Amino acid sequence: MQISPSILSADFANLQAELDAIRSADWAHVDVMDNHFVPNLTLGLPVVESLAKVSPVPLDCHLMIDDPDRWAPGYVEAGAESVTFHVEAAADPRGVARTLRGLGARAGMAIKPNTPWAPYEDLLPDLDMVLVMTVEPGFGGQSFMADQMPKVRAVRESVRRFGGEVWIQVDGGVSAATVEQCAEAGADVFVAGSAVYGKDDVPAAIAELRALVAAHAHP
């Protein structure tokens, strides 16, 4: 059970200090948006490269960008240890995943709320993580979509059948109020933005999420 605070909710003028504040987390979740695949622009390769040099925890880059086939490998070279691309944006999802793994990173594949899981189940052997979006990607601070829990369960069932070591990540509106149902549905990596960075005591917020998911872990 891993906690991956999203720096999308952090103070962009003080990112080194904001990363230091989450040293008790497992990952720093870095949202990369290109204003094409999603209607928002955040940060890209030069910032990721700078973050990788100072982060006390490994970087988990979530690429909400067009043409990850071309751009995703650069994020491994910039220092990300986990890179997640959107299956809706990839020309050759299996090829992207294999390239990421070949470069030494964990390969993640994200699916948007309206994207079904079943057509992509056969990609599991080439993946280290599946990210089930629990909001429409593009902006932080949105409301959690509980209707995505059956999809989390479906991915968990596929992973059980396939038998590999594939993590299931949830991202969007994850908080102390929603994280338990994510854990019960089978998620094991939890991205939380405002639920961590919106709190006065960031380490306490991380500890609270950890305690909640530990109590509701799937079997």
Q: Place 219 in a pLDDT band, splitting at 50, 70 and 90.
A: low
Flag whether pLDDT at 218 surpasses 70: no
Place of tokens 């990112």: 15
Flag whether pLDDT at 208 surpasses 70: yes
In percent, the amount of the chain with pLDDT more than 90 equals 91
Between the alpha carbon of residue 202 and those of residues 80, 124, 144, 218, the distances in Å are 23, 34, 21, 26
Q: How many CB atoms lie within 10 A of CB 115?
A: 15
In the chain, the domains with their CATH numbers are 2-215 (3.20.20.70)
Catalytic residue among 26, 60, 171, 188: 171
Taking only the tens place, the pLDDT of each residue in 86-123 is: 999 999 999 999 999 999 999 999 999 999 999 999 99
Amino acid present at 55 = S
Active site residue 171: yes
Q: What is the pTM of this model?
A: 0.95
Place of tokens 């059970």: 1
Active site residue 31: yes
Beta bridge partners of 180: none
Flag whether pLDDT at 141 surpasses 90: no
Is 140:194 a contact under the CB 8 Å cutoff? yes
Query: Minimal CA–CA distance to 5: which of 133, 21, 149, 90?
Result: 21
Flag whether pLDDT at 140 surpasses 80: no
Sequence-distant (6+) residues with CB within 8 A of 12 are 43
Catalytic residue among 26, 31, 60, 188: 31
Measure the CA–CA gap between 129 and 166, rounded to whole angstroms. Answer: 5
Rg from Cα positions in the chain: 16
